[in-house]
Structure 1
């Protein structure tokens, strides 16, 4: 069976090239997708497909280590924002049952002399898998370069200066999450899912092609739409911070990862959560307030917003 994509598919080279009509069409299609669905797929994104596959290979090597070894990299003081987070620790906002997953977070790498006000949390590196950290760091940088171009297009769609939103994520709190959904354990609650219905916290998320299907998006008619994991495509969705910044014009759409029919099937995925710097003001943009007919979201900084949501999903106390 040949899978086809169920959401709009955009070509990033239409935006990065010199053809102005293609660039304008890309901006319009991206904006409409985020207004109407909150999701689209991107091709010719500049992220090395070989690097993605290598990342999945080293991820599998890590997650197959003994539990006691993996837990050495779970540091409570980092609130799940770096290193390992064990199976069942995270839950969706307002969902009583934990997600059926374990994951690892990679953050920004900076030199000691970098002029940042707040130093990023330290990254951890599993010594048992020497390739892990260098491979994930390269992937982080390639995904970030793609994200910057997408945020430029977002700003242009909103008729704002091109670099308005992309400047917010420079030296920001962006994280790469490497997720392992192991075989479904016996005896889990029937309401437990690999990832319960939720919205992402951040501005946008770039999701490298997962190793199996399972991602679904909630449509406005209340039905769930499966999104295919196709080679060469990165899935992009808008998060709560972008919805906040645009006063609800661009949607943060509920999505989930369902359990497989074969309970022994495992799944890997790598979402790249694009965050602003902590001090960035997420007060809705004036033009978006005018467009949507009055301010619908409060003023808040990105740092305060993130801490509030980490508490809600069980990663911070």
Structure 2
């Protein structure tokens, strides 16, 4: 196995109650990784490899369908938050060139106590294994995300349950992405995913089928990041950066084009969102830890999400 270029954390350490200090060390390591790089690798995360492999099989089956069939699941009023989004529809913030990808979005199946409610999922009837597989994957990823957000809360000097209701009732989305072979008529400036930051609290990224992910370091150089089977990439989103007043970094990253235009790529990022009414105003304790000045505005998660959906072409 190739040595990792970013910190590797073991989630079993956070579950440790043996007085060894592993739990406290995990919280510190998580915080330092998200402060310095905004990224880390997670192992022993509880997501079954069999389920990840099955999910990629279901994804491949769906994206192999005729364009006219897939287009039936692109519902404009859903602003890309459920169902299918066509190739070239989304672009990065401040970029005019479309990303070279198509994707499917799904949220939680079970209802929540939140009064607004979330849109119902769409499911491709042509791929019967898609719904049970993706639902099971969503649930396992959310269980992992809950633990990570508990650790984040501790690092931010908040009660461990600070994010619990936000995660279990949030607008979290699982995105199933297909990067097809690069078309001959692609705009030269287009990339599979142009440089961007994630919108949400944190992102959990199951290992992609091929390389391509790179993060922008403070020295201006791009660092390739990979994950092997059994590893998940975790990164900070803009919402957590705002809440922490920039203590935790939402790092710019991209997916580069392959050297061979015939290569395909699949990936499955899990974007952990809070409830729409969650207040992203920087925490006073984080303001103190970052110099004493509030660097990010007072706004709700819903206000920020709608702003970003417009900026990336989905609303």
Q: TM-score range by the shorter chain?
A: over 0.9
CA deviation after TM superposition for structure 1 residue 191, in Å: 1.2
Correspondence list, 1:192-231, <5 A: 192-231=190-229
Counterpart of 1:47 in structure 2 is 47
1:58 counterpart = 2:58 = yes
Shift in Å, 1:28: 0.6
In the other structure, the counterpart of 1:259 is: 257
**1:196 partner SS:** strand
CA–CA distance in 2 between the matches of 1:48 and 1:279? Answer: 32
Unaligned runs of 5+ residues in structure 2 are: none
- Name the counterpart of 1:12: 11
1:248 to partner: Cα distance = 0.4
- 1:167: how far off? 2.8
Q: TM-score when scaled to structure 1?
A: 0.97
1:272 aligned counterpart, secondary structure: strand
SS in 2 for 1:80: coil
Over the aligned positions, Cα root-mean-square deviation in angstroms equals: 0.9
2:75 is matched with 75
1:237-256 alignment to 2 at 5 Å?
237-256=235-254
Q: Tell me, what secondary structure is at the counterpart of 2:190?
A: coil
The separation in 2 between residues aligned to 1:167 and 1:285, in whole angstroms, is 18
> What is the CA deviation profile of residues 1-48 of structure 1, one whole-angstrom value per residue up to 9, with x for unaligned ones?
x42211000000000122341111111100000000000000000001
1 CA distance for matches of 2:187 and 2:37?
31
Q: Residues 38 and 253 of structure 1 are in contact (CA less than 8 Å); yes or no, is this contact kept in structure 2?
A: yes
Q: Alignment partner of 1:133: what SS?
A: helix
Matches within 5 A, 1:88-107: 88-107=88-107
Give the Cα separation in 2 of the matches to 1:110 and 1:22: 34
For residue 277 of structure 2, what is the aligned residue in structure 1?
Answer: 279
CA shift for structure 1 position 229: 2.6
Worse overlay, 230-239 or 13-22: 13-22
Asked whether the 8 Å contact 1:4–1:228 carries over to 2, the reply is: no
The total of aligned residue pairs comes to 313
| 1: CA distance, partners of 2:227 / 2:289 | 35
